[in-house]
């Protein structure tokens, strides 16, 4: 009789990480096809819907998903969740900043004094045309715009993106120095 090989826990977790990473990368490739090429029934409906939700930032989603898949292989599990959070915060800030741009200036496309449901509807319509930050951006930008003036709102979103990016760089360099 031959001996049974035992798969160690470390090998099993590494294999699981590879399976998760490959799944995320395949999902990223499918998202890219659906969003960029708008192929098939799903692509024709998914691309405008994502545009309505997050504006032209939808084009960054497959890239970010692919990078998360790579980090699943490279990094330990405890480093993946902060990267996903940082990615989500940056996407949120960019969407809000783009919506703020539509609420200010000479070419106002969204009126802040309008009813909130009309603002969200207008943001969705503009997002399907790949303009602005979509509904997500409007949900964050409208209260911020009403609380602060436009210039302060833009500064706060820029600061938030910058801080998130700096935390990412600090996290990267602290792991290198260990």
Splitting the chain (178 residues) into consecutive groups of 10 residues, what average pLDDT does each group show?
A: 59 77 92 89 91 92 89 76 82 85 79 89 93 91 78 71 69 57
Alpha carbon distance 133, 123 (integer Å): 7
Alpha carbon distance 102, 107 (integer Å): 7
What pLDDT score was predicted for residue 52?
A: 94
**52 close to 122: Cβ distance less than 8 angstroms:** no
> What CA–CA distances, in Å, run from 125 to 66, 113, 153?
28, 18, 23
Alpha carbon distance 9, 63 (integer Å): 31
DSSP state of 7: P
Alpha carbon distance 26, 66 (integer Å): 8
103: closest CA among 69, 138, 55?
Answer: 138
What pLDDT score was predicted for residue 14?
A: 72
What pLDDT score was predicted for residue 132?
A: 87
What pLDDT score was predicted for residue 88?
A: 86
What pLDDT score was predicted for residue 26?
A: 94
């Amino acid at each position: 009789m031959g001996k049974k090989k035992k798969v160690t826990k470390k090998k099993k977790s590494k294999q699981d990480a590879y399976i998760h990473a490959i799944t995320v990368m395949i999902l990223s490739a499918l998202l890219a096809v659906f969003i960029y090429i708008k192929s098939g029934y799903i692509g024709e409906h998914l691309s405008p819907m994502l545009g309505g939700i997050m504006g032209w930032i939808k084009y960054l989603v497959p890239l970010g998903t692919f990078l998360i898949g790579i980090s699943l292989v490279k990094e330990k599990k405890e480093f993946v969740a902060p990267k996903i959070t940082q990615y989500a915060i940056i996407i949120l800030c960019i969407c809000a900043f783009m919506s703020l741009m539509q609420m200010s200036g000479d070419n106002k496309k969204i009126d802040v004094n309008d009813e909130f449901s009309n603002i969200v509807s207008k943001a969705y319509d503009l997002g399907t045309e790949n303009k602005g930050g979509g509904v997500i951006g409007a949900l964050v930008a409208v209260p911020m715009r009403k609380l602060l003036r436009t210039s302060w709102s833009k500064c706060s979103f820029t600061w938030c993106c910058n801080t998130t990016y700096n935390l990412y760089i600090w996290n990267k360099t602290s792991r290198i120095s260990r």
